[in-house]
Chain A
Amino acid sequence: DTGVSQNPRHKITKRGQNVTFRCDPISEHNRLYWYRQTLGQGPEFLTYFQNEAQLEKSRLLSDRFSAERPKGSFSTLEIQRTEQGDSAMYLCASSLLTDYGYTFGSGTRLTVV
């Protein structure tokens, strides 16, 4: 297993466009998390899945954000009508059900111009 994979690594988009990021977790991990991180700050929780069920969604996540995890495997995070304030690193992590130790991907850096 090669760990958690995120694509793309970088995305530059114009304000108002839609973007979609993909995360492939470690195959045996039940839980998958999305976090957002700005430069020099700690990650902020966005949402998480246990298998295919989305169990929690942060109040930070406006209606423009949606995440899916079909069949409990990979996950996608979509941002509609992007705004400059959406510029950040979007991190995906996965873990086992019984273990809080996260394995993070390398992240997708989004720049909205």
Chain B
Amino acid sequence: DIQMTQSPSSLSASVGDRVTITCRASQSVSKYLNWYQQKSGQAPELLIYAASSLQSGVPSRFSGSGFGTGFTLTISSLRPEDFATYYCQQNSIPPYTFGQGTKVEIK
């Protein structure tokens, strides 16, 4: 199975900060990398697909980049509603494994 490793596991940030989360795959997943946001008690929501494509309706302050084994999710200016847990997932080779999550907390 492909292992997905996110860093950091958690971070504290302030409203307005630029936040970057990294996801590394144990082998190449090409561009097949998605990012999800999950708020407490809710189902995850798709933010980014195919590494860098913004899902319809998602604010443009979210962006994704990367290819192969290294990927990043960037929030350009953190808003109060962005405090949540973020997961990457590869959908290149089954099983479509997730990272362990990154919890973004209020500083």
Task: Indicate, yes or no, whether A interacts with B.
Answer: no
Interface residues of A (CB under 8 A from B): none
Interface residues of B (CB under 8 A from A): none
